[in-house]
Amino acid sequence: MIDFSDPLTVLAVFVPIIGGIIASVYYIDKITQDRKDRQIKIHVEKVLESDHRIRKIRVRYMNKPIEKCSVSFNGTPLIWDSTEAQFKFTIFEGGQRNATIPDDIFTEDAEIVIKSDEKVLKRINFKDLELGR
């Protein structure tokens, strides 16, 4: 039986327990932080050109490259500006790319979906986007 009347015995029992708890909390925090660092962070904004007649979606501020990036507007894939890749394009870290919205499919309350390959990165309504410069 352990004699808890001796202060050294109390220290010998509780210090490893408290150390284990602190190490577990640190480990869980480290795993959570690593998971956040692996997620792609993007900013999506709307761009209006030529007296608001040409509407575009701009994808920018990535912390990592986006492989096979695609944008859809109410389920319709949009074409990237000035690229040979029609619907899927790799955007490199810190880069940006615009996709033009055709007039015949435009609605203010449309849902925009940004994907990398088939993984959804962001889903947002057009009316909720910030206006870019």
Considering the domain architecture, whether residues 30 and 92 belong to the same structural domain is answered as no
The residue segments making up the domain with residue 80 are 43-131
pLDDT tops 90 at residue 8: no
Cα dihedral 25, 30, 31, 36, rounded to 10, equals 130
Long-range contacts of 62-66 (CB under 8 A, 24+ apart): 62/91, 62/92, 62/93, 62/94, 62/95, 63/93, 64/40, 64/93, 65/90, 65/91, 65/92, 65/93, 66/40, 66/42, 66/90, 66/91, 66/116, 66/121
Considering the domain architecture, whether residues 33 and 7 belong to the same structural domain is answered as yes
Residue 94 confidence class, pLDDT cut points 50, 70, 90: confident
Considering the domain architecture, whether residues 52 and 100 belong to the same structural domain is answered as yes
Total domains, the chain: 2
Considering the domain architecture, whether residues 15 and 58 belong to the same structural domain is answered as no
pTM (predicted TM-score):
0.67
Considering the domain architecture, whether residues 24 and 54 belong to the same structural domain is answered as no
pLDDT tops 70 at residue 57: yes
Considering the domain architecture, whether residues 60 and 110 belong to the same structural domain is answered as yes
pLDDT in tens, 12-21: 888 999 999 9
What is the pLDDT averaged over residues 115-126?
89
Strands 79-80 and 96-101, by their bridges, are antiparallel
Coil/strand/helix, residue 107: coil
